[in-house]
Structure 1
C-alpha cells in the first residue's frame, strides 16, 4: 500500500490486515478497559470494511523503518461534533496513540496530518476530537496541533 507520508525514520500509511494484532495491542494500551482480543476483533472488522458505523472509518499507522509499528490513529466521519458546523460531516479523531519511545519525534503530528488529509478528501471542512478532562498530555498534544477547546462537560447515563 502506498505511503500517506514519510518522515525521517518512519512512514505513515493506511493499516492493512497483517497489522491487526499490533494495533490491537496499542488499542489496549490506549483503552485498557477492553482486552487485546476485544480490540483485535474490532480492528479486524474495521480493516475488513465491516465497522459498526454507517459512516467511513479508517486506521492509519506509523511504521518505523527499523522496528515496525509505533503508533496508530483511527479517523472517521461523524454527522456532527460539538463546536462544529452541523450542516456538513466532520472528521473525527476517534483514537490516537504513539508508543512512548516514539513520542516527540513527529509521529503523532504526521498521523494527525494524514487523518486531516483523509477527512478533506471526504469533503470535510472541520476536524474534531475529544479526550478525558484529566489527560493533560493529550490536551497539550491536541493544542500543539492547532485544536482548540470548544466545550468541557461530564456525560451521564442511567440504565432503564
Structure 2
C-alpha cells in the first residue's frame, strides 16, 4: 500500500472515493472543487492505493478561523476521511491520519481537529483509539423563514 498526494493524475480517482463517502454529491462539482485544491497552500488530500486501486483518502485544511476546542492557530482540520468498507479495521485510516499529522506540522500547526456526527459511533471510537480527545457535542438547528 502506498500513499500518494493529490495530483492531476489521481484526481478522478479521488472524486470517485468522495462520491462513495457523500453519495448525494455530483461528480463535476466535486471534480472542480478538488481540482482547485491542486494549487492550494492550505489544503491537501492524500490517497491510499492498494496495487492499482485507490481505497482511501484524507482531506485536510489549515484553518485560522474558529475551530471548536482548538487553543492554537493555525489548526489542521480533517475535512474528510474515507476508507472503503472492505478495507476498514486494517490501520489504513490511522496511516492516513499520520500522513496528515506530518503535513500539519510542516504547516506550523500544533493541533489537529476533526468532527463527526453524534450517531457515528464507529468514527467516534476511531478518533479516540488514535489519540483524539472529545471536546464538545452539539446539536445544530435551522429554521425556515
Structure 2: 5+ residue stretches without partners: none
Matched, 1:20 2:6: no
Number of aligned positions between the proteins: 144
Match of 1:30 among 21, 29, 45: 21
Residue 157 of structure 1: how far off its partner (Å) = 3.9
Structure 1: 5+ residue stretches without partners: 1-9
CA distance in structure 1 between the partners assigned to 2:93 and 2:75 by the alignment: 20
Partner SS state of residue 113, structure 2 = strand
CA distance in structure 2 between the partners assigned to 1:67 and 1:101 by the alignment: 16
Contact 2:60/2:78 (8 A) holds in 1 = yes
The answer for the alignment partner of 2:2 in structure 1 is 11
Residue 156 of structure 1: how far off its partner (Å) = 2.8
CA distance in structure 2 between the partners assigned to 1:22 and 1:137 by the alignment: 25
Match of 1:107 among 80, 92, 108: 92
Residue 42 of structure 1: how far off its partner (Å) = 1.2
CA RMSD in angstroms, aligned pairs only:
1.7
CA distance in structure 1 between the partners assigned to 2:54 and 2:21 by the alignment: 15
Matched, 1:39 2:30: yes
